[in-house]
Amino acid sequence: MLTTRSLITLTAMFICHVSSAAQTSLPIEKLTLPEGYHISIFANEVKNARQMAISESGIVFVGSREAGVVHAVIDSDKDGVADRVINIAQNLNMPSGLAIRDGDLYVAEVDRILKYTDIEAHYTHLPAPEVVVSGLPTEKHHGWKYIDFGPDGWLYVPIGAPCNICETTGTARFDDPRFASILRFNLSTGEKQWVAKGVRNSVGFDWHPQTQQFWFSDNGRDMLGDDIPPCEINAVETLGEHFGYPYFHGGSIADPEFGENKNMADYTVPKLNLMAHVAPLGVHFYAGSMFENTMNNRLFVAEHGSWNRTQKSGYRVMMASVKAGQVIAYEPFVQGWLNDDNTAWGRPAAITTMADGSMLIADDFANVIYRVTYQKP
């Protein structure tokens, strides 16, 4: 029996908005990259572009948060500029995260995960989806998700804290241990496991191409001033370990509300503390064939940018060099979205690599996807 929500979603499946992907008037000449790297507009009118997943034929599917839509971006002639942007689904509940596995598209709403079978054959006329994970928390505060399948075949799903700072178990307001964590689901057996606990709001993760270690970003709490606490890049050593929230931030900063009588040694410290409020979202290990060899296995980080810092921070793509499980360098890759007058014209949100080795960067503020290529100088 179809519910009202199902009918709204099903109706939306048959509504497609098609737009041209012509060049925009964005000042991309302000963006700076290392020598030999070039950035261009791959697609525009990709409203509120968030996580991307690329099909076998090269269709780029893109989620959104506030827009409630899923896009299909098509570059038919493979010239590096998309020909069409199609809204293939509308009226979804913050479908920020999506992934492709065995030809099927998985879309994360706040409280469930949907599967659209054989997406390349059906993206212009989507049938009703199958619900593969249901019953997730319904809180929208940090409820949008980034999802992906790991090398182990499990589907990884973060569930953010439903607040700026709070305890999420055993309280009158919240009592759900799934909050402030990252879970993984075996869709074949229905089994669920904790990957990480004490994670305030992760909207990006990836696996190291060589070691398969799971790395993720985490956004630090607000309202402690401009400079604390740091945002974080973390890596999981043992399934289910606790990364400190809401008791400790950045590995050593006790929370003034919840840190009393807590032991810092009980929690896992970050691999890297970032500047406060830079809001790291998508993280991506590069393993393509186009960039310089020195870029392989580097972790690229989309610093989405601060919303409440006096002098804005972030608004750039950074790259972390990882050696023996440790970050040994953290350097800019793309910057220039932040203007000298403390305003910004773009906000990088997610990163992925195309089959040719070029890099795509989603911008949910400018509503575009950029493409980064490399040619030896």
How far is 91 from 114, CA to CA, in rounded Å? Answer: 14
State whether residue 28 is helix, strand or coil.
Answer: helix
- H or E segment at 9? helix 4-13
Whether 139 and 180 have beta carbons less than 8 Å apart is answered as: no
For residue range 224-258, list pLDDT tens digits in order.
Answer: 999 999 999 999 999 999 999 999 999 999 999 99
Kindly report whether the peptide bond that precedes residue 137 is cis, defined as omega within 30 degrees of 0. Answer: no
pLDDT band at residue 18 under the 50/70/90 scheme? low
Counting residues of the chain whose pLDDT is more than 70, the rounded percentage is 94
pTM of the model: 0.94
Q: What is the side-by-side strand order in the sheet with 155-159? A: 148-149, 155-159, 181-185, 192-197, 241-242
For residue range 34-72, list pLDDT tens digits in order.
Answer: 999 999 999 999 999 999 999 999 999 999 999 999 999
Query: Average pLDDT in the 175-189 region?
Result: 97
Q: Is the pLDDT of residue 212 over 80?
A: yes
**Between these two residues, 168 and 94, which has the higher pLDDT value?**
94
Q: What is the dihedral of CA 182, 187, 192, 194, to 10 degrees?
A: -30
Domains identified in the chain and CATH numbers: 4-25+43-277+308-315 (2.120.10.30)
